[in-house]
Chains A and B, each alone.
Chain A
């Protein structure tokens, strides 16, 4: 198992904040919008240096999405920011018609996704956002795994023409990917090479997958760990190449199983190379209040759960 170390823990939303601050300097077309969550989305640096390119929309997310679509018509690249729940479920039809169907260059940047939002509870813990967004034609869906990858993804989506949903979160987690990385949309990242099982992981579950890989390695199981940071377009080639090598798969995501990354992987396998697959994710239930760690434990979003599913899927191989 390849060794991953970290010296600090940071929240992925701060990676977004650093990315958009850099874009503020380098790309005069980038405009940041928020619905009363400038602080939570770490926009302070961008606002300080580019006050004229910051649009405070107040608590009116539907309007923010429409205004974003309108800004593209004048040549701007709007980054519409709020919590993931209000960035998707609350404004699905606005995104569907004014952004996705109209194919506008809007970047929907969503923090506080999943149960790791913590104490605020289920009203704010959206676990369906990736599913909703990946179903929309024209939409690119990205869920980076740490501070550095989130910053790199933020820079990359500004260069990409078309609607994007970028999902990140609130908890501080290890920073284990390189600071100087180039983020390639739609290109999976091989975290570790192994031949016994493929682990397809995204977002906060990538670090858990690395921890799981270490536990498995100690037991003689070599996991091929693939970070699917781009949920759509999906890197089908990387998924198939891995499963052709390992013969089985586990998906790991902080998202509802219905409609999540696991569903996308299963569809690729069912169509091209049927193989056993098991899932780590949330099973048809809402979240609740608690600390992020407690919630990850309770909802089975941990390295131990990944190890359990790996053993289960390996046992299903012939």
Chain B
């Protein structure tokens, strides 16, 4: 997809995010807005997805011969759901059921409701890198040349299981794995530096045997370029430190961890939507 279209799509996704969380007065807009450009780049440009003859995406749990993505920091489900819907995995109108009773769009993503596009439950942090490593391992066993992507939070790097997986993936030569960290230095109780400093994440992953790269997560061109480059070495996995701003696109949400897990009120919603004008040809859910 052209860069300009990716950016228009990202704006539509950001509108979905703030509307979804405002509608139920719950959810996590901050990280969702920060990771929007990444998820849009992934699903609308970088990943090769399984499609039917008409070009419509098809969901197959096994994900054979297609690139697959895992969301480890499941709380940013609003951006995941919006991107999946806009990529064609389920009707856009279903976004209005987010976090409501009997919805397939649970607070945190799950396979339990059989929502197309979701391959694992996430929410309890620290598990996605292991799951993605297993899926990458399966692809290698299958002789499947496609790629596995996983997104984690930077606060999530405090979980011990991450480092078990970080040690496993390079030792198993999982070059078909790209792990991305949403590097916004924000977690519920404040700055990651104050809560429990991750210190030099790049140096840590490098010491574990990963290629380490960085990208500007709210610069679409840089995101696309860096993600593509991450797939080049078949034997060494790549870790990307994705510098983002929590709440990106909505001025009053930026520069603070406070919008990690709270929803805007009606007035704030209107203010947010005014800052995210829809392009002609795009519509809200």
Contact = CB atoms under 8 A, between A and B. Distances in A.
B121 A97 contact: yes
Interface residues of A, number: 32
B167 interface: yes
Contact of B130 (A52, A53, A98, A103): A98
Interface stretch (A40-48, A55-63, A226-234, A295-303): A55-63
A65 interface: yes
A94 interface: yes
Interface stretch (A70-78, A185-193, A203-211): A70-78
A293 interface: no
Interface string B116-131: 0001111110111111
Contacts of A103: 111-112
Contacts of B122: 97
Q: How large is the interface on B (under 10, 10 to 19, 20 to 34, 35 or more residues)?
A: 35 or more
Contacts of B123: 97
A58 B164 CA distance: 9
A73 B168 contact: no
A266 B124 CA distance: 33
A68 interface: yes
Interface stretch (B30-38, B61-69, B90-98, B188-196): B61-69
B164 A60 contact: yes
A62 B168 contact: no
Nearest to A65: B130
Interface string B202-233: 00000000000000000000000000000000
Contact of A101 (B121, B144, B161, B165): B121
Contacts of A64: 130
Contacts of B124: 93, 96-97
Q: Which residue of A52, A55, A70, A78 has the most chain B CB atoms within 10 A of its CB atom? A: A70
Given A66-B127, A66-B131, A101-B110, A71 B165 contact: no
A75 B138 contact: yes
A70 B131 contact: yes
Contact of A94 (B132, B135, B161): B161
Interface in B120-164: 120-124, 126-139, 141-142, 144, 160-161, 164
A93 to B, nearest CB: 5
A69 interface: yes
B63 A67 contact: no
A267 interface: no
Q: Which residue of A68, A73, A96, A103 has the most chain B CB atoms within 10 A of its CB atom? A: A73
Contacts of A66: 127-131, 133-134, 161, 165
Interface string A96-124: 11100111100000000000000000000
B164 A63 contact: yes
A93 B128 CA distance: 13
Contact of A97 (B64, B127, B167): B127
A67 B142 contact: no
B127 A94 contact: yes
A75 B120 contact: no
Contacts of B134: 66-74, 78
A74 B63 contact: yes
Interface string B30-72: 0000000000000000000000000000000111100010000
Contact of A74 (B62, B110, B126, B165): B62
B137 A67 contact: yes
Nearest to B63: A73
Given A65-B130, A78-B134, 11 more contacts: A55-B137, A57-B168, A62-B130, A66-B134, A74-B63, A74-B138, A101-B110, A102-B110, A102-B111, A102-B112, A103-B112
29 contacts: A52-B141, A60-B168, A62-B164, A63-B130, A63-B161, A64-B130, A66-B129, A66-B133, A66-B165, A67-B133, A67-B165, A67-B168, A69-B131, A70-B132, A70-B136, A72-B134, A73-B119, A74-B64, A74-B137, A74-B144, A78-B134, A94-B127, A97-B123, A97-B124, A98-B127, A98-B131, A101-B110, A102-B120, A103-B111
Interface of B: 61-64, 68, 110-112, 119-124, 126-139, 141-142, 144, 160-161, 164-165, 167-168, 172
